């Protein structure tokens, strides 16, 4: 009997040894530094409707087109507003961290959207309640933009939808919902009364789930630790129930188990201060990490929140192994330690307040505290005529897959 | 010969497999503290750990104090100070517990004369200067005994240490990796096994504080940490710090780290970046919540709306 057991175990050991993708204790091995392999938009763009995959020929053609566009496109930090104008100066903090408008760092992928379900590659419709919340937020944002001078002069991208008007009484109201959404330029409302008026990124509170960015995975028999760029999470491998509902966390509460060679992670208990594509504290993620071969991991994540979307949806990301020796992840969550800019922006806003009070400066309600100065057709024209700085289309926009 | 070799090889494999199976079985039981099964033949430090001492108040032996911040009392004696405004309203929760100290040997920290003066100055400006109060990354080794839980995730080529405080983390490389291009608060750590002890060599550190008493090291520091099992549920943690710009000789901190034995122990967030916004940016609000600012300094008036003799 003992002999049989030993022989059996021996056979298991041989199998384990034969597969390089097992840890010393026999779990599937997901360890290493992983990064997204391809450039694929989160949602399938309109022109690719009904076309989930690309042929090798099409990929090649798109690569060539992209290279051509990148050669003539502006680079990150290029501003289109005339140097020294208010629009030139606003948003200067964010622009440093933006990607080049045309990112060529990764090859174009064989799929036309990261979303694999629903089959149309698009995020399912938002529920009426969330649509209403977004309309309310949008109305508040617009109210704070209606008195901005830049929006009276032309349709700057930050002024989209703004109907010029007097200073809104809503400038003194709190926003109808916590400013958790991270949208273009990070900051959501045109006001800088306190730290809460800023974007989560500017407050060094960004970085959450799901995360499709660079990550270093280290495993132990009972837990998996993942270092993302600037934050970490520990995933217990357990079938214990989730935390009590009253305990909410920025990174949620993760519980994992193995299904064959796939690590399945169930994440709940998010705080209402987070927002992923409209989903807040009710976000429920099911992540699936699968080692495909020596150099590839597949990360699939299903977003489930019936209070936000009419049905759940799933994203699949091909992750490629990065050189471990180069030790690419040495990031620390140091955003906050070096966040001099937030204090400076607040002090700047107080100086604006003071200048206005002393009749030395414009009403801050007429100034743009968002990312004005980009995407303005007038400035683009001026640049073509040789005036102003560089031209810049909108920043990465909704295709940017990293939160 | 060949046959016997393969037989002994098979036997060896079977033993390894049995060990693997035991490891797996022993650690799969959900909700139970990690068992003592070894990781690749090495001590298993996996789990949630926490220092249970007063080191973060002051590494050195100290008596209890009435408040984390004190002021002269009505008597002039230095031992008769009373709690000062920042902590007065906290009553007994605002004091400092005593400690026998965690500095090895004579208990002294061998500062150079200049560094000793700086330490004293740090202590006098604790609230203004201590990076812990600003929720900055606590740095090595302070993160290890900051009195918040930490989790060790130990593999064969890397060890992650994840901290509740500020979402900090460090990687201990057991394999060969290039040095990072920049200094960090947690430093660049390379680990090796010396018998049953994990020895971690840490350099490329930014200077940092070591406790709330103003003890510190500089960016020229080099540390050697030693993790030795005391039992399944306790680790002897020692760190020797050498820094020629601050200390006249290397010196050592030594303390146990204890396993959190709750069956449902897990690392929870202490997201203090958000918590310190008022502390750090409150003066720059358009409508200040604290009404007494002088420049960017908070002037604290304690308004206790409770009976002075306490609430019954």
User: Taking CB atoms and an 8 Å cutoff, what residues of chain A touch B156?
Assistant: 23-24
Note the pLDDT of residue B163.
Answer: 97
Specify whether the CB–CB gap between B277 and B249 falls below 8 A: no
Greatest mean pLDDT among A63-72, A359-368, B24-33: A359-368
Q: Is A223 on the interface with B (CB under 8 A)?
A: yes
Note the pLDDT of residue A96.
Answer: 55
To test the contact with chain A by mutation, choose from B8, B13, B182 the residue with the greatest count of A C-beta atoms within 10 A, namely B13
Q: Is the pLDDT confidence value at A83 over 50?
A: yes
Q: Determine the average pLDDT of the residues in B80-105.
A: 94
Specify whether the CB–CB gap between B121 and B214 falls below 8 A: yes
Note the pLDDT of residue B239.
Answer: 98
Tell me B193's DSSP state.
E
A217's tokens: 């995975």
A398's tokens: 């909704």
pLDDT category of residue B261 using cuts at 50, 70 and 90: very high
d(CA A318, CA A303): 17
Task: Check residue A179 and give left, alpha or beta (phi > 0: left; psi -120 to 50: alpha).
Answer: beta
For residue B99, the distance in angstroms to the closest alpha carbon of chain A comes to 30
Q: Is the pLDDT confidence value at B106 over 70?
A: yes
The size of the A-B interface in CB pairs under 8 A is 195
pLDDT category of residue A37 using cuts at 50, 70 and 90: very high
Q: At what angle do helices A2-18 and B2-28 cross, to 10 degrees?
A: 90
Q: Is the pLDDT confidence value at A353 over 70?
A: yes
CB atoms within 10 A of CB A102: 17
Element (H, E) at A402: none
Q: Bridge-partner residues for B224, per DSSP?
A: B201, B240
d(CA B25, CA B202): 34
Note the pLDDT of residue B32.
Answer: 41
B157's tokens: 């080529």
For residue B254, the distance in angstroms to the closest alpha carbon of chain A comes to 26
Q: Is the pLDDT confidence value at B129 over 70?
A: yes
Q: Determine the average pLDDT of the residues in B150-154.
A: 98
The SS3 assignment for B171 reads strand
B280/A13 Cβ within 8 A: no
Greatest mean pLDDT among A73-77, A156-160, A265-269, B80-84: A265-269
In terms of Cβ atoms closer than 10 Å to its own Cβ (0-12, 13-18, 19+), residue B250 is: middle
To test the contact with chain B by mutation, choose from A10, A25, A270 the residue with the greatest count of B C-beta atoms within 10 A, namely A25
d(CA A333, CA A231): 6
Q: Residue A88 — φ and ψ, nearest 5°?
A: -65, -35
User: Taking CB atoms and an 8 Å cutoff, what residues of chain B touch A332?
Assistant: 137, 168-169, 184-186
To test the contact with chain A by mutation, choose from B12, B36, B277 the residue with the greatest count of A C-beta atoms within 10 A, namely B277
More confident site: A332 or A382 = A332
Task: Check residue B49 and give left, alpha or beta (phi > 0: left; psi -120 to 50: alpha).
Answer: beta
d(CA A151, CA A162): 7
Pick from A39, A46, A32: nearest CA to A401: A39
Q: Bridge-partner residues for B172, per DSSP?
A: B159, B189
d(CA A11, CA B251): 51
Instruction: Calculate the average pLDDT of chain A.
Output: 84
Note the pLDDT of residue B309.
Answer: 61
| Residue range B47-55+100-259, CATH number | 2.40.128
For residue A170, the distance in angstroms to the closest alpha carbon of chain B comes to 15
Q: Is A173 on the interface with B (CB under 8 A)?
A: no
Q: Is the pLDDT confidence value at A70 over 90?
A: no
d(CA B166, CA B276): 11
- For B39, the closest of A10, A24, A224 (CB atoms) is A24
Note the pLDDT of residue A329.
Answer: 67
Specify whether the CB–CB gap between A52 and A121 falls below 8 A: yes
B88's tokens: 């007065």
d(CA A189, CA B295): 27
Q: What is the pTM of this model?
A: 0.86
pLDDT category of residue B81 using cuts at 50, 70 and 90: very high
ipTM over 0.95: no
The sign of the dihedral angle between the CA atoms of B274, B278, B279, B283 is positive
Q: Determine the average pLDDT of the residues in B32-52.
A: 82
B289-294: Cβ within 8 A, 24+ apart: none
Percent of chain B topping pLDDT 90: 75
Note the pLDDT of residue B27.
Answer: 41
Specify whether the CB–CB gap between A213 and A288 falls below 8 A: no
Q: Determine the average pLDDT of the residues in A9-13.
A: 48
Q: Determine the average pLDDT of the residues in B4-14.
A: 48
d(CA A224, CA A236): 6
Specify whether the CB–CB gap between A271 and A178 falls below 8 A: no
**Contacts with B, A 32-61, CB within 8 Å:** none
Q: Is the pLDDT confidence value at A141 over 70?
A: yes
Pick from A400, A373, A398: nearest CA to A74: A373
More confident site: A251 or A88 = A251
d(CA A202, CA A191): 13
Q: Is the pLDDT confidence value at B9 over 80?
A: no
Q: Determine the average pLDDT of the residues in A335-350.
A: 92
Note the pLDDT of residue A181.
Answer: 74
Pick from B159, B196, B161, B158: nearest CA to B175: B158
- For A249, the closest of B157, B268, B284 (CB atoms) is B268
pLDDT category of residue A369 using cuts at 50, 70 and 90: confident
For residue A269, the distance in angstroms to the closest alpha carbon of chain B comes to 12
Q: Determine the average pLDDT of the residues in B64-69.
A: 94
The distance from CA A31 to its chain's CA centroid, rounded to whole angstroms, is: 23
Note the pLDDT of residue B20.
Answer: 44
Q: Is the pLDDT confidence value at B301 over 80?
A: no
Positions of CATH 2.40.128 in chain B: 47-55+100-259
More confident site: B12 or A335 = A335
Tell me B68's DSSP state.
S
Percent of chain A topping pLDDT 90: 65
d(CA A20, CA A29): 8
Tell me B58's DSSP state.
-
Note the pLDDT of residue B284.
Answer: 94
Note the pLDDT of residue A344.
Answer: 93
Note the pLDDT of residue A291.
Answer: 96
Q: Is A10 on the interface with B (CB under 8 A)?
A: yes
Residue in this structure with the two tokens 């969550």, named with its chain if needed: A333
Q: Is the pLDDT confidence value at A233 over 50?
A: yes
Greatest mean pLDDT among A69-83, A389-403, B44-58: B44-58
- For A240, the closest of B31, B181, B271 (CB atoms) is B31
The answer to which of A127-131, A234-238, A332-336, B215-219 has the lowest mean pLDDT is: A332-336
pLDDT in tens, A283-317: 999 999 999 999 999 999 999 999 999 999 999 99
B177/A327 Cβ within 8 A: yes
- For B24, the closest of A221, A334, A337 (CB atoms) is A221
Question: Which residue of B lies nearest to A258 if distances are taken between CA atoms?
Answer: B28
Q: Is the pLDDT confidence value at A332 over 90?
A: no
Helices (H), chain B: 2-28, 85-88, 113-124, 126-129, 272-275, 277-281
Q: Determine the average pLDDT of the residues in A84-109.
A: 70
Cα A267 to Cα A238, A313, A403, B134, B150: the distances in Å are 13, 15, 17, 29, 20
Specify whether the CB–CB gap between B185 and B193 falls below 8 A: no
**Contacts with B, A 269-298, CB within 8 Å:** 273
d(CA A194, CA A286): 36
For residue A351, the distance in angstroms to the closest alpha carbon of chain B comes to 10
Instruction: Calculate the average pLDDT of chain B.
Output: 88
Q: Is the pLDDT confidence value at A101 over 90?
A: no
The residues, ordered by sequence, that sit 6+ positions from B144 with a Cβ below 8 Å of its Cβ are B51, B150, B161, B225, B237, B239, B257
The SS3 assignment for B155 reads coil
Q: Determine the average pLDDT of the residues in B213-239.
A: 98
Q: Is the pLDDT confidence value at B202 over 90?
A: yes
User: Taking CB atoms and an 8 Å cutoff, what residues of chain A touch B271?
Assistant: 205, 249-250
d(CA B147, CA B145): 5
The answer to which of A203-217, A233-247, B196-210 has the lowest mean pLDDT is: A203-217
d(CA B7, CA A6): 12
Residue in this structure with the two tokens 């005994």, named with its chain if needed: B145
Note the pLDDT of residue A399.
Answer: 29
pLDDT in tens, A163-215: 999 999 999 999 999 998 765 446 789 999 999 999 898 899 988 999 999 99
A324/B20 Cβ within 8 A: no
d(CA A202, CA B33): 39
Helices (H), B72-160: 85-88, 113-124, 126-129
**Contacts with B, A 320-359, CB within 8 Å:** 324-327, 329-330, 332-334, 336-337, 342-343, 346-347, 349-350, 353
- Residues B149, A267, A257, A237: what is their CA dihedral angle, to the nearest 10 degrees? 0
More confident site: B264 or A400 = B264
CB atoms within 10 A of CB A194: 19
d(CA B95, CA B70): 9
């Amino acid at each position: 009997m003992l002999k049989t057991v030993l022989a059996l175990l021996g056979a298991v050991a041989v199998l384990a040894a034969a597969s390089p993708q097992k840890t010393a204790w026999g779990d599937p091995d997901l360890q290493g530094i992983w990064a997204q392999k391809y450039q694929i938009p989160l949602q399938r763009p309109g022109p690719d409707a009904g076309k989930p995959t690309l042929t090798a020929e099409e990929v090649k053609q798109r690569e060539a087109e992209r290279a051509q566009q990148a050669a003539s496109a502006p680079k990150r930090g290029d501003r289109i507003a005339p140097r020294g104008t208010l629009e030139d100066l606003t948003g200067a903090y964010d622009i440093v961290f933006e990607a080049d408008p045309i990112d060529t760092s990764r090859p174009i992928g064989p799929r036309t959207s990261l979303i694999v379900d629903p089959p149309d590659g698009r995020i399912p419709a938002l529920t009426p309640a969330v649509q209403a919340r977004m309309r309310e937020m949008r109305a508040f944002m617009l109210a704070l933009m209606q008195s901005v001078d830049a929006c009276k002069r032309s349709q700057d991208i930050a002024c989209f939808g703004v109907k010029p008007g007097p200073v809104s009484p809503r400038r003194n109201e709190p926003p109808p919902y916590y400013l958790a959404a991270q949208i273009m330029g990070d900051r959501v409302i045109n006001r800088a009364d306190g730290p809460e008026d800023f974007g989560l990124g500017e407050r060094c509170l960004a970085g959450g789930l799901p995360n499709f960015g660079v990550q270093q995975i280290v495993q132990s028999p009972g837990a998996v630790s993942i270092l993302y760029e600037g934050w970490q999470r520990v995933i217990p491998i357990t079938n214990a129930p989730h935390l009590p509902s009253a305990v909410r966390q920025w990174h949620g509460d993760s519980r994992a188990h193995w299904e064959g060679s796939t690590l399945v992670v169930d994440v709940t208990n998010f705080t209402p201060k987070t927002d992923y594509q409209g989903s807040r504290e009710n976000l429920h993620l099911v992540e699936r990490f699968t080692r495909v071969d020596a150099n590839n991991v597949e990360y699939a994540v299903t977003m489930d929140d019936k209070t936000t979307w009419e049905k759940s949806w799933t994203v699949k990301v091909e992750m490629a192994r990065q050189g471990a020796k180069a030790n690419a992840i040495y990031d620390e969550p140091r955003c906050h330690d070096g966040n001099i800019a937030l204090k400076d922006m607040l002090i700047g806003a107080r100086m604006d307040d003071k200048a206005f009070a002393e009749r030395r400066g414009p009403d801050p309600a007429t100034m743009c505290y968002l990312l004005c100065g980009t995407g303005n057709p007038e400035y683009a024209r001026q640049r073509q005529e040789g005036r102003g700085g560089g031209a810049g289309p909108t920043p990465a926009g909704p295709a940017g897959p990293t939160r | 010969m060949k046959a016997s070799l393969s037989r002994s090889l098979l036997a060896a494999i079977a033993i390894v497999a049995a060990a693997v199976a035991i490891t797996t079985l022993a650690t799969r039981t959900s909700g139970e503290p990690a068992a003592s099964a070894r990781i690749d033949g090495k001590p298993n430090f996996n789990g949630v750990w926490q220092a249970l001492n007063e080191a973060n108040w002051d590494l050195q032996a100290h008596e209890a104090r009435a408040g984390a911040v004190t002021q002269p009392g009505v008597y002039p004696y230095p031992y008769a100070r009373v709690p000062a405004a920042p902590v007065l309203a906290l009553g007994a929760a605002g004091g400092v517990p005593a400690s026998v100290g965690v500095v090895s040997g004579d208990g002294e920290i061998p500062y150079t004369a200049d560094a000793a003066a700086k330490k004293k100055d740090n202590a006098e400006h604790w609230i203004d200067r201590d990076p812990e109060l600003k929720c900055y990354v606590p740095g090595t080794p302070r993160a290890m005994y900051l009195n918040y839980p930490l989790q060790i995730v130990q593999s064969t080529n890397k060890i992650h240490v994840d901290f509740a405080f500020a979402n900090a983390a460090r990687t201990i490389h057991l394999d060969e990796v290039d040095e990072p291009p920049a200094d960090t608060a947690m430093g660049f750590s390379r680990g090796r096994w010396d018998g049953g002890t994990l020895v971690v060599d840490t350099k490329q550190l930014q200077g940092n504080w070591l406790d709330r008493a103003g003890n510190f090291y500089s960016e020229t520091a080099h540390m050697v940490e030693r993790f030795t099992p005391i039992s399944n549920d306790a680790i002897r943690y020692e760190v020797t710090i050498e820094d020629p710009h601050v200390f006249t000789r290397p010196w050592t901190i030594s303390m146990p780290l204890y396993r959190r034995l709750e069956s449902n122990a897990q690392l929870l967030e202490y997201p203090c970046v958000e918590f310190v916004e008022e502390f750090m940016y409150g003066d720059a609000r358009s409508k200040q919540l604290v009404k007494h600012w002088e420049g960017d300094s908070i002037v604290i008036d304690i308004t206790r709306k409770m009976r002075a003799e306490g609430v019954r």
